[in-house]
Structure 1
Amino acid sequence: MTAARDALLAKVVAHYAEHGVRDTSLRSLAAAIGTSQRMLHYHFGSREDVLTAVIDAVAGGQAERIGRLFDEEPDRTAAGDLNWRKTVEGAEVFGALWFELATHAMRHEPYAARLGEVMVAAQVREFTRLYAERTTADKAARLARLTLAVGQGLIFGLLIDRDRDAADAAVEEFSGLVRRELEG
């Protein structure tokens, strides 16, 4: 990527994070972020290509971040707590955009197909890898999918009701359940 494309993508992501994607045309997006439609076409191509770039920018590195965090922190409980805090920080900025783009994937929009990989499959693989250190591959895969589902559900609720204390308490309870499963 070029520096100009990176800067333009940052403006696009910030705009969509604040206003949502909705049915924004490239013309109206360009006007809103202070560029031209031609520059968006030059750097990205179509509206769908812009949305693909947004998906990669916002969700693309999530699984790698999880892996690095757990690889660098030997205390799995501390790593899990930090993962939750980092996920909430990201959700406070990009959560509504994540969920809006998820509806695009649910509607099988071609540009959103990668979302299934970056928001589900890659994260399930990473949690499976971590859990497989302490249990069977099958159980690790089930716990990984459950972990992702609980985390995404709690983020969804937190974005709606803003009850951080309740979400934190639920994560703590769930983490205890996972620890007991892995110890048993």
Structure 2
Amino acid sequence: MTDRRDDLLRQAYAYALEHGLADLSLRPLAAAIGSSPRVLLFLFGSKDGLVRELLARARADELALLDQVRGGGLAEVAEAVWAWLAAPEHRALLTLWLEGYGRSLVAADGPWAGFARATVEDWLAVLADTGADRTACTLVLAVLRGALLDLLATGDVERTTAAIRSIMTEYGQT
């Protein structure tokens, strides 16, 4: 059963990356991944259970990135994170992340609850590993997140990358 569950979760994640989670309906999802709503409910307990698992998968992908960029100074880490964020192949994951982040800001419970806070803590932990103080880490995180929102809205990699480099230079981080 675990192999089938893992396979359906992998397929559901691919579906969510393409279609998002906001309007996720089990019938179209099940049809797209060769299953049934009943099987999905059996394996994940509920639609919320499935969404929770999909958000956990998105967070795991985010944590894998963060593990790859550990070990440098604040500017190095910020540049590495930005290079990953700006890569076109990550747009679907980042859009899904943004959806989860936004929904969690208004959800006191359910599958979205705590997602934004957890991701902030994840990112701050990586930035703190550089030895920078909490204020500098918070500033860099805010700049990265703001530039990411702009990038997702406009697709303008050149301008947003220039802004990241400019702010890092202005605050003496490069």
- Contact 2:69–2:77 (Cα < 8 Å) also in 1: yes
Paired residue total? 172
Partner of 2:60: 60
1:16 corresponding residue in structure 2: 16
Write the deviation string for residues 61-101 of structure 1: whole angstroms up to 9, x where unpaired.
Answer: 53453244222xx5664443222111223641222222222
TM-score normalised according to structure 1 size? 0.79
Q: Which residue of 2 aligns with 1:33?
A: 33
Q: 1:173 to 1:3 in 2, by over 3 A?
A: farther
> Paired residue for 1:157?
150
The one-letter amino acid of 2:31's match is A
Aligned partners of 1:18 and 1:94: how far apart in 2?
A: 9
- Per-residue Cα deviation, 1:86-142 (whole angstroms, up to 9, x for no partner): 122364122222222222201214211231343211211221232xx25xxxxx112
Partner of 2:81: 83
Question: Equivalences for 1:56-135 in 2 at 5 Å?
Answer: 56-63=56-63, 65-71=65-71, 74=72, 77-89=75-87, 91-108=90-107, 109-130=109-130, 133-134=131-132
What is the TM-score with the length of structure 2 in the denominator? 0.83
Q: Secondary structure at the match of 1:113?
A: coil
Q: Does 2:173 match 1:176?
A: no
> In 2, distance between residues paired with 1:40 and 1:29?
9
List gaps (5 residues or longer) in structure 2: none
> For the residues of structure 2 that align with 1:75 and 1:150, how far apart are their CA atoms?
16
Secondary structure, counterpart of 1:112 in structure 2: coil
Classify the secondary structure of the residue corresponding to 1:23: coil
* Percent of paired sites with the same residue: 24
- TM superposition shift of 1:163: 0.8
| Contact 1:62-1:118 at 8 Å conserved across structures | no
Q: CA deviation at 1:57?
A: 0.8
The alpha-carbon distance between structure 1 residues 80 and 145, as it changes in their structure 2 partners (threshold 3 A), is: closer
Cα distance in 2 between the residues matched to 1:159 and 1:16: 17
- Corresponding residue number in structure 2 for 1:137: none
- Could you tell me which amino acid in structure 1 is paired with residue 5 of structure 2? R
The reply to whether residue 166 of structure 1 matches residue 174 of structure 2 is no
